[in-house]
Structure 1
């Protein structure tokens, strides 16, 4: 059983700005860090910014904003590198990933590990600018970062592990700004995990045929034809957790309006899901950048 090539579903777009503008030696590292696919960066940044705003109860300190933004960028890039290293033998057999640098032979594994070491070293250097408590919280996420790429081999819930790691910056933001992590902040983080399970399952439906053939696991494979209902339930949990979390954190009434808008947007996404059309699901995955932006905007409005 083989896949039919559909270039529109590949996450590497040959001939893009990376190929046109960057020196050839830089290109595989740029793609390894996903700098050519910034959607994941935005999906990491917006929840982190929302937490910084809520913890600061207004505009966060500029230094903290810069440090956390760089940290989110570096850790997302490092996580992508770890993922590609772990999946290098599978990616070449999956339509969406077969042009990735390791899978296509543009870079070898030792160089990828060296690049990962540089990414982690840069991320670690940012910890020197944070409080000891925040550093401790940051270190606790490392097992999740390294376990995630292996999860699809033994559990149908790799999206949950990814969501916990991807949104860890929300907990760090509270640790840095407030010196503690209140229950409302934990609920906001739990809502972000449910949100990521939802949108990453939408994404996983793009690969479901290839993953099944390779013996890999995902929530998309677990949910099967019930995926639309299950994704809708996780999106409902997202809106509920963010609403309750915001209330516990003392957000003002404009925040509730933001939650209604987010709920409507997630409901629209759920309605549009078509399990038989990967190209539609891929576009809906990308639409979650809007969800993240709405969350950050709601958090800011809730401090008025």
Structure 2
């Protein structure tokens, strides 16, 4: 076949596909670096914000349409002036993953599950990852530039000492999950601070519950790497709890539910919340605790994934149902009062 015929056989569509494929392949390591494709982790950051936002909306009597707008914008990061607070925390998650992989690249090479990560495998250089990290930090600071003073302070603390120091915790303590629990769930406080400019006791109680939840699911997640972590010298609650792991997980599940109960009482939540969020969440945790095999990486990953999607959504459903219940009740009371007064 002549060269002219060979070149003619390459159609424009083929060239377009080749170019698209090349671009996608070049972007893939950067996408993997932020873990954005692992959507369960993203949802585990989103749910505490969603719970806190729904709780705040109920207490502050935020109109239902405005609430859903705030929730939607928070999820997609579409509007800074109307709650990109959750998008900020999703960005913290991405930046935290980049920072974690920079510091842990030598650990990651010794762990079967993580040895293929972009920095550990050499697909992305440390220098490139540092530039990428600074770009994330700049975007995050820009996103929260217009929030009130309290929300700004919470954002700064979340970005630097909390997310920044987390990778070091696994080197010095068997409780890195406890530190992670604070940074992962600061969205609860941010939702209150952003909307009301204050953080009530009920928000701290809810955050205590979500903190215990992080220890629950991240301990299960860490069980995937127990053998490799021992060899690499990585510390975690999965190793600390040892043969008593299910007993300790049951304790943290109880702390989580206690936090939900306490927050619900302090915030004046009603039957839908206690039935769905507390009752349904308790049953779900009990079933998951019974079913998970902490010696099976496959079982642990499935349980972690279910926390990010199923459990988070179930608990939010209770928050949402109670908020709508209360909002509709207030609307009916207001309508009845106006009707009576109008009749008089």
TM above 0.5: yes
**Whose helix proportion is higher, 1 or 2?**
2
Query: Matches of 2:287 and 2:24 in 1, distance apart?
Result: 42
* Conservation of the 8 A alpha-carbon contact between 1:41 and 1:72: no
For 2:85, the equivalent position in structure 1 comes to 68
User: Structure 1 residues 20 and 168 mapped into 2: Cα distance closer, same or farther (>3 Å)?
Assistant: farther
Aligned to 1:10: none
Q: Offset at 1:22? A: 5.1
Q: Is the alpha carbon distance of 1:20 and 1:275 closer, same or farther for their aligned partners in structure 2, counting shifts above 3 Å?
A: farther
Give unpaired runs (5+ residues) of structure 2: 1-19, 78-83, 326-344
Relative to 1, partners in 2 of residues 1:297 and 1:20: Cα closer, same or farther, differing over 3 Å? farther
Q: How far off its partner does 1:21 sit? A: 8.4
Which residue does 1:12 correspond to in 2?
none
Contiguous gaps of at least 5 residues in structure 1: 1-18
The number of residue pairs the alignment matches comes to: 286
Higher gyration radius (CA): 2
2:86–2:187 Cα contact (<8 Å) kept? no
For the aligned residue pairs, the C-alpha RMSD in angstroms reads 1.6
- 2-structure distance, mates of 1:144, 1:208: 24
Whether 1:200 aligns to 2:255 is: no
TM score, norm. by length of structure 1: 0.90
Answer with 274-283 or 35-44: which moved more: 274-283
1:200 deviates by: 0.5
2:148 matched to which residue of 1? 131
Is 2:43 the partner of 1:39? no
Q: Which residue of 2 aligns with 1:25?
A: 26
- Which digits, 9 at most, give the CA deviation of each residue in 1:25-63, with x for residues without a partner? 211110111122111100100110110111111542635
Distance 1:146 1:77 in 2: 12
Task: Answer 1 or 2: higher relative contact order, Cα 8 Å, separation at least 6.
Answer: 1
Q: CA deviation at 1:233?
A: 1.0
Alignment of 1:281 onto 2:300: yes
Mapped to 2, the partners of 1:282 and 1:214 lie a distance apart of: 21
Quick check: 1:235 aligned with 2:242?
no
Once residues 115 and 137 of structure 1 are traced to their aligned partners in structure 2, the CA distance between those partners, rounded to angstroms, is 23
Structure 2 residue 317 is the aligned partner of structure 1 residue 297 = yes
Shift of 1:195: 0.4
